Amino acid sequence: MRQLKRFWPLHLMVLPSLVFLLLFSYLPMAGAVMAFQDYKPALGFTGSAWVGFDNFRLLFEREDSLQVIWNTLLIAVMKIIFNLLVPFAFAIFLNEIRKQLFKRFVQTLVYLPHFLSWVILGGILIDILSTDGGLVNRALGWFGIGPVFFLGDGSWFRFTVIVSDIWKEFGYGTIVFLAALANINPSLYEAAEVDGASRWKQTLNITVPSLMPIAIVVGTLALGNILNAGFDQIFNLYNPLVLEKGDIIDTFVYRTGIVSGDMGLGTAVGLFKSVISMILIVISYRLAYKLANYRIF
Amino acid sequence: MYHKTVSYRTFSVFNYVLMMLVALLCILPLVHVLAVSLSAKSAADGNLVSLWPVHFTTEAYQKTINNPAFIRSIGISVLRTVSGTALTLLLAFLAAYPLSRENAQFKGRNVYAWIFIFAMVFNGGLVPFYIMIQKLHLMGTFAALVLPGAVNIYLTILMMNFFRGIPRELEEASLIDGAGSFRTLFSVFLPVSKPAIATLSLFSIVFHWNSWFDGLLYMNQPSQYPLATFLQTVIIQQDMTTLSLDPKTMELISQKTVNAAQIFIGALPVLLIYPFLQKYFVKGLVIGSVKE
C-alpha cells in the first residue's frame, strides 16, 4: 500500500499511453480472430461462422498469394542487403573528407530524401521515369540507350523499387556509421601511421573492423523486416502492368481485405505476416544482444 | 604522412567529386520538379524542361493556390500535424519518465515495458485495425487521423533513453526539496530536454505531414482528405472522379506544371523545417540507436 501511495503519480503518467495502446494495438490483436472466421460485417465477431484454418489453407493454395510472398521476400532481402552495404561504404568515403563545411553540405543533402514521403517521391519518379520524355530516359537517350520501361515492365519494376529505396534511405542509414567512425580512437591511426601503413591499409585494418559491431546490429535488426518490402513505396509506384512481379503482402492484404472485402483471407494473410515478423524480430534482437551487446529497452 | 602521397591525393580528388555527385543526385529530382512548376505549360508538356525553368512563369502556383480543394487539404494537414504532434509529444514525455526508472525504483516498470514492447513487435494487421476504427465510430472523423498513432513507441523509447542520460542527482535534489513526480518532470526534466523534444517534434511533424494512407482508408469524402492523401489521389492515382470536382478544376489539376507545383508545395514544409532541426535529430537518433 505504501508503495502505491508513493508511486501513484508514476502509474498515472503511463496511464494515458496505456489507454491508447489498449484501444489501437491490443484490441485489433483480439480482432485477429477474424482470420479463423468467415467474417461477415453484418454478423460481427460473435455471429460469423468459424472456419478453422481454411483461410490459411487458401493462402498457401492460391497461386497469387504464393507469388506475393515470393515477391515480398525477394524485394525485401535485396533492400536489406543494399541498405546495409551502401551506407557502410558511403560513410567510409565521406569520412575521408577533411573540409568540414563540405562534409556537412553533403550530409544535409543526402539525409533529405528520407524525410520526403513516397507520395511526393512517387509523383516525381513517375514523371522522371516515364518513357515519353521522362528526364532519365532522355539522359539515357544521349548514350543511345532506351527507352527503359522502369515502372511498366515487371523485372524493371523490381529493379526500380530497390534502387529508388536505396536512393531514398542510404544517406539516413549512414548516420549510425558516421557516429561510430567519430568514436574510433585516433591513436590507432597514429600508431598505424608510424608503422608506415597506407590509408588503404588503415581503412582495412582499423576503420572496417571498428564499424563491424554496428554493422552487425543494423544487419541483424533488419532481419525483422524481411516481410516488409515497403507498402508506401510499392503502393505509390505500382500499376496493373507490374502487379504480378510487384505485388507484396501488404498491398495484397489491402486489395483482398479492404477493397474486395474478403476480410477473413485479408486478416489471415496479415496475421501470418505479423506472427512470422514477430518471431524474426525477437530472434534478431537476441542476436544483436549476443553479438554486439545491443539493448533497446 | 599518407596525406601527401600521390595515390592518396588522387583518391582525394576523386572522392570530392564522387561525394559532390552523390549529394547532387539526392536533390536533382526535386530541382527538376521545381523547374517544371515554374515553366510554361507548353514547355513542360513538350519535355523541354530539365533543371532550369523554360519560359519562367508562376502561373501554376497561382492556379494551385486558387484551388479551394487544395487549400482546404492543407488546412486539414496543418491542423492534424499540430494537434497530432502535441499529443504524441505529451504522451511520450509522460510515459518515458516512469519507464526510464530502474525496476527497483519503480515496481511495475517492467510490466509496462513489456506492454510497450509487445505492441511494438506484434500487431493484428490492417483489416482488424480497420474494423476497430469502424467500431469506435471514428470513420470520417478528424480524430481517426490523430488518435490511432498518438502513442509512438519508437519516440517514447528515444525519450526514455534521453531521460536515462540525465544525472540522477538532479532528480533526487528536486524530490528532496519536496517536489512531486509531476513537478519534477515538468520543472526539472522539461527544461533540459530541449534536444530530445526537438528530435521527437521533427519525427512527429514529418510523420503527420507525410501520412496519406489513413486519410484514404478512414475518410468518407475527399473533402476530408489531408494534403498527402489529396496528392496521392490526384497525382499518383490520377483519379479525378472520386474528387467530384467541376470540369474546370479537373482540367487544371491534370496539367503537368500544376502537378509539379502541388508536389513542390507538398514537400515544402519538410524542406523548411529540416535544416533547422538537423543537428538535433542526428544526436537524438544516435542516442536511440547506438547504446552500450
- Write down the pLDDT at residue A4: 63
Q: Note the pLDDT tens digit of each residue in A271-291.
A: 999 999 999 999 998 888 888
- Write down the pLDDT at residue B86: 97
Q: Is the same domain home to B73 and B36?
A: no
Q: Note the pLDDT tens digit of each residue in B23-59.
A: 999 999 999 999 999 999 888 888 888 889 999 999 9
- Write down the pLDDT at residue A1: 54
Average pLDDT over residues B240-244: 55
Task: Write the DSSP assignment of B125-172 as a string of letters.
Answer: -HHHHHHHHHHTT-TTSTHHHHSTTS--HHHHHHHHHHHHTS-HHHHH
- Write down the pLDDT at residue A174: 94
Nearest to B98 among A10, A27, A115 (CB): A10
Q: Is the same domain home to B235 and B171?
A: yes
Q: List chain B residues with CB under 8 Å of A296.
A: 157, 291
Is A27 inside a domain boundary?
no
Q: Is the same domain home to B36 and B172?
A: no
CB contact under 8 A, B127 and A270: yes
Q: Which of A12-21, A35-44, A141-150 has the highest mean pLDDT?
A: A12-21
Average pLDDT over residues B114-131: 93
Q: Domain containing A76 — which CATH number?
A: 1.10.3720.10
Nearest to A25 among B119, B228, B235 (CB): B119
Is A24 inside a domain boundary?
no
- Write down the pLDDT at residue B218: 95
Q: List chain A residues with CB under 8 Å of B92.
A: 17
> Is some CB atom of chain B closer than 8 A to the CB atom of A235?
yes
Q: Note the pLDDT tens digit of each residue in A238-250.
A: 888 899 999 999 9
The residue among B15, B40, B56 that closes a domain is B56
Is A176 exposed, middle or buried, given 0-12, 13-18 or 19+ CB atoms closer than 10 A?
A: buried
- Write down the pLDDT at residue B276: 78
Residues 35-74 of A with CB under 8 A from B: 41
Cα–Cα distance for residue pair B117/B284, rounded to 1 Å: 20
Average pLDDT over residues A208-224: 90
Q: List chain A residues with CB under 8 Å of B50.
A: 135, 138
> Is some CB atom of chain B closer than 8 A to the CB atom of A280?
no
Q: Looking at A10-24, A116-130, B165-179, which range is the least confident one?
A: B165-179
Contact A177, A87 (CB under 8 A): yes
Is A162 inside a domain boundary?
yes
Percent of chain B, pLDDT > 70? 91
The pLDDT confidence band at residue A233, using thresholds 50, 70 and 90, is very high
Is A86 inside a domain boundary?
yes
Is A10 inside a domain boundary?
no
Percent of chain A, pLDDT > 70? 98
Count up the domains in chain A and report the number. 1
- Chain-wide mean pLDDT for chain B? 88
CB contact under 8 A, B132 and A34: no
Q: Is the same domain home to B48 and B155?
A: no
Cα–Cα distance for residue pair B141/B265, rounded to 1 Å: 25
Nearest to B128 among A34, A132, A135 (CB): A34
CB contact under 8 A, A29 and B228: no
Contact B227, B266 (CB under 8 A): yes
Q: Is the same domain home to B26 and B171?
A: no
Q: Domain containing B183 — which CATH number?
A: 1.10.3720.10
Average pLDDT over residues B237-264: 71
SS (HEC) of chain A: CHHHHHHHHHHHHHHHHHHHHHHHHHHHHHHHHHHHEECCCCCHHHHCEECCCHHHHHHHHCHHHHHHHHHHHHHHHHHHHHHHHHHHHHHHHHHCCCCHHHHHHHHHHHHHHHHCCHHHHHHHHHHHCCCCCCHHHHHHHHCCCCCCCCCCCHHHHHHHHHHHHHHHHHHHHHHHHHHHHHCCCHHHHHHHHHCCCCHHHHHHHHHHHHHHHHHHHHHHHHHHHCCCCCHHHHHHHCCHHHHHHHCCHHHHHHHHHHHCCCHHHHHHHHHHHHHHHHHHHHHHHHHHHHHHCCCCC
Is B36 inside a domain boundary?
yes
Burial A243-264 (b: 16+ CB within 10 A, else e): bebbbbbbbbbbbbbbeeebbb
> Is some CB atom of chain B closer than 8 A to the CB atom of A86?
no
Q: Is the same domain home to B225 and B165?
A: yes
Provide the residue range defining the domain that includes A129: 52-292
Which amino acid is residue B54, in one-letter code?
V
Q: Is the same domain home to B257 and B166?
A: yes
The pLDDT confidence band at residue B242, using thresholds 50, 70 and 90, is low
Q: List chain A residues with CB under 8 Å of B274.
A: 111-112, 115
pTM score of the predicted model: 0.91
Q: Is the same domain home to B141 and B46?
A: no
Average pLDDT over residues A166-175: 95
Q: Note the pLDDT tens digit of each residue in A85-110.
A: 999 999 999 999 999 999 999 999 99
Q: Looking at A16-30, A83-97, B266-280, which range is the least confident one?
A: B266-280
Reply yes or no on whether the pLDDT at A155 is more than 60: yes
Q: Is the same domain home to B122 and B265?
A: yes
Q: Is the same domain home to B46 and B80?
A: no
Q: Is the same domain home to B10 and B98?
A: no
Count up the domains in chain B and report the number. 2
Gap from A152 CA to chain B (nearest CA, Å): 14
Nearest to A105 among B23, B29, B260 (CB): B23
Q: Note the pLDDT tens digit of each residue in A107-134.
A: 999 999 999 999 999 999 999 998 888 8
Gap from B20 CA to chain A (nearest CA, Å): 7
Q: How many CB pairs under 8 A join A and B?
A: 260
Is A164 inside a domain boundary?
yes
The pLDDT confidence band at residue B70, using thresholds 50, 70 and 90, is very high
Interface test with A, best of B13, B127, B283 (most A CBs within 10 A): B127
> Is some CB atom of chain B closer than 8 A to the CB atom of A124?
yes
The residue among B37, B56, B75 that closes a domain is B56
Is B1 inside a domain boundary?
no
Provide the residue range defining the domain that includes B162: 60-288
Q: List chain B residues with CB under 8 Å of A198.
A: 2, 5, 7-8
Average pLDDT over residues A52-73: 90
- Write down the pLDDT at residue B252: 56
Contact B226, B139 (CB under 8 A): no
- Write down the pLDDT at residue B13: 94
CA nearest to B211 within chain A: A117
- Write down the pLDDT at residue A97: 93
- Write down the pLDDT at residue A75: 96
Average pLDDT over residues B121-140: 93
> Is some CB atom of chain B closer than 8 A to the CB atom of A113?
yes
The pLDDT confidence band at residue A18, using thresholds 50, 70 and 90, is very high
Contact B32, A124 (CB under 8 A): yes
Is A234 inside a domain boundary?
yes
Gap from B262 CA to chain A (nearest CA, Å): 9
Is A247 inside a domain boundary?
yes
Q: Is the same domain home to B32 and B67?
A: no
The pLDDT confidence band at residue A25, using thresholds 50, 70 and 90, is very high
- Write down the pLDDT at residue B292: 37
Q: Note the pLDDT tens digit of each residue in A258-275.
A: 999 889 999 999 999 999
